[in-house]
Structure 1
């Protein structure tokens, strides 16, 4: 019984933290839901500004005018709650970490949140205007560009998530260095392969057009270089490890 008690305590704490996470998303959704239609109009603006005067977004399904803004509000609530959700993850795992691990994990979780928002912001400010302008411009003559709101929302959400996840490269770099799988010096020697790899990632995570693939690949490569700098800063003794391996 004494062996089962800690497990029960952990499961109870996990349940409580999951309930807090759900409550945080629910509260954010309640706050956002009344403005869902206005927010969707803002979300559609990068495409709407490039559409011809006679074109507009359309709804091809009966429930789309209601369900699409509802879905967008729910996803937006999750996006807004990400820092709190990550904090709950941190609070659950922190008691089992050594002090040196705590000093590493918490900054990485904060950096992960900021990088996710930075990636989504980059998609909104840079990628969307270029991609939508390109798509509308290459439409064949006689084809009216009138996008369904449901498909449009799925498209932009996929780009938000793709760029948010791709911008986690510095965090991933630090983690694999911290785990002893490699060193910054060894990664520097693989730069040509990394450059090819980021373009492959851009091809897999973005729509099949060169613009969005390139706009994802180039920042990801720059973030890879940032990850090397962060690894030297956050992983103690890494320069000594490189010296022992003859990599410096």
Structure 2
């Protein structure tokens, strides 16, 4: 029986914490993470007998670091599917040259598509509802428009995170409010497969009604978040350190899903 829709044989995921899978714990897996990319790979593996998957993403990396460290390694694997999520960490820096940032991105996407890969890239998320991250909304919107042009120019698949509804629910995010929760990763896997036009049976999580918190409960949550995430995060920015300094890619070579999971 023929398989409906595109079939991919060699999938390589590039990026930062978003693609590494932070916020979606899985103690038995490399780096103790699962994430949306693993979920996508697991489904793609059911559609062919010769599927292999590599995930080169490392948390905390800037776009330039991602492309410098991961692009050539990905090209050497001759993938027919590449996902690249990059730029989010750059947008959170005090200053950023968005035109130069996206020009670097554009060059990389062009190399990947020229090599024959289907390439999926993302717009950045609209965090306008969040009291802290809403300050980034303007620069994020500019970045997104340029990324849309990159996708159009190279025929890349665009996963338009900016336009997704439902992520304004804090249950879609991990305790740090920066990385998606398991529910957020599950929803993202659905969106990626849909964008690639791959038929699937995955469903987005139904979280039910949002919890109602008292003002005191919310103040306590906010205080814990500032102490345990925001202050250490600013500390790393000031000292030039990254959460990924001692982290390596968790699936650095192409391998079948059953071989490591």
Is TM > 0.5 for Structure 1 vs Structure 2?
Answer: no
Q: TM-score range by the shorter chain?
A: under 0.3
Greater relative contact order, per chain length (Cα 8 Å cut-off, separation 6+): 2
| TM-score relative to the length of structure 2 | 0.21
User: Could you say which structure has the higher helix fraction?
Assistant: 1
User: Could you say which structure has the higher strand fraction?
Assistant: 2
| TM-score relative to the length of structure 1 | 0.22
* Structure number with bigger Rg: 1
